Chain A
Amino acid sequence: MTQLKPPALASWMLRHLVPGDRTEALEGDLLEEFQRRHSASWYWRQVLWAIVASVAGELRQHWKLLSLEAVFVLVWTYYSLLFLRFAQQQFWALAFEPHGRSLWWVLMHCNGIVSLAIPLAIYLAYKRFTNLLPALWGLCFGIVVAWALALPTLALALKVGGGWVIRWPILLHAFFSVEAAGILPYAVPYPWWLFPANLLRQSAPLLFAIWAAQLWGKRCQSTSLQN
């Protein structure tokens, strides 16, 4: 008897987006039931619910860590705003000079990297992770996702008038954090509505790092079982 194949994309999503060590059994159960029901829409519903349920479970399980991350991002954001209030006084003139602009870029990059790396370091220390490499890959993927989440801010940057003198700080904000917008109050009112987006964006790399580390752990576990 030939087996009906469920939607390939849904199966891929099930394998890669459901954390934990139950994916194999769950996938087998869904495949078994799919042979009886013959409904692609049923399969899709099941996969999407499985993803939602497992992610909700992960969030519930890691609520302490996520709370820590949320507090960290808020504290870091406000600290950065204060820092840039000070820095803009020191570097404002330099920032728009040709050599000063590169200095500003370096500062912004360092700030962005640190703001992403510290929560990850906290998490790795918290979990005593040894599988650092997949976590770093997850972090890189998370940064890409984080930038994608910053697209609305990029769109705002393109809509704002006043030329690139005003636009580039908004672009920096989009790529790194709210801190770059610290210099904006002189030009445009601060877009406070970006705070939730910023929280989500800064949490994304960490969440992806956790996800990658878990996938790696699962893979290692299945390899050792096979051996």
Chain B
Amino acid sequence: MTARSQLGEFELIVMLALLRVGEDAYGVPIARAIEEGTRREVAIGSVYAALERLEQKGLVASRLGEPTPERGGRAKRYFRVTGAGLRRVRAAQRALVALWQGLPQLEGGKA
């Protein structure tokens, strides 16, 4: 796996949020899922920038929904994780879990 094809930290967070939201995932629920998970404010624009990169890598796919009046006539863009994206998340999980195990500094939940 090349450095360029690896997932960055924020990209991984976005992928996990996308999986957590499931179907009908668009900017707002994805950003909320990230905020709930990380407990910090997230810029929806940054989420879109990450999703665009992930789509270019083929890890995420998107489609345009119908325009709605409550959004000022603007359409939602729905995202989903592709098969390649799911494999990449699993690979990242395996790598992180392997690195996590056997670290006494991280046991007990205290810094």
Contact = CB atoms under 8 A, between A and B. Distances in A.
Contacts of A53: 43, 45-46, 48-49
Interface of A is mostly: helix
B45 A25 contact: no
Interface in B79-104: none
A24 interface: yes
Contacts of B41: 45
Interface in A1-55: 3, 18, 20, 22, 24-33, 35, 45-47, 49-54
B44 A31 contact: no
Nearest to B44: A29
Contacts of B43: 45-46, 49-50, 53
B45 A28 contact: no
B75 A25 contact: yes
Nearest to A27: B74
A53 B49 CA distance: 6
Nearest to A56: B49
Interface string A119-147: 00000000000000000000000000000
B62 to A, nearest CB: 9
B76 interface: yes
Contacts of B53: 57
Nearest to B68: A28
A52 B46 CA distance: 9
B52 A33 contact: no
Contact of B44 (A3, A35, A50, A51): A50
B74 A28 contact: yes
A31 B70 CA distance: 8
Contacts of A56: 49
Contacts of B28: 29, 32-33
Contact of B45 (A18, A31, A35): A18
Given A32-B28, A33-B28, A26 B70 contact: no
B72 interface: yes
A33 B29 CA distance: 10
Nearest to A1: B70
B49 to A, nearest CB: 4
A31 B43 CA distance: 13
B52 A25 contact: no
B44 A28 contact: no
Given A29-B26, A53-B49, A46 B44 contact: yes
18 contacts: A18-B45, A26-B44, A28-B71, A29-B44, A29-B76, A31-B72, A32-B70, A33-B31, A35-B70, A45-B41, A45-B43, A46-B44, A47-B45, A51-B45, A53-B45, A53-B46, A53-B49, A57-B49
| Pairs A-B, 10 closest by C-beta atoms | A50-B45, A28-B74, A49-B43, A29-B27, A25-B77, A28-B71, A53-B49, A53-B46, A53-B45, A57-B49
Given A29-B26, A32-B70, 13 more contacts: A20-B52, A22-B52, A25-B26, A27-B74, A29-B31, A31-B72, A32-B28, A32-B71, A33-B28, A35-B70, A45-B41, A54-B45, A57-B53
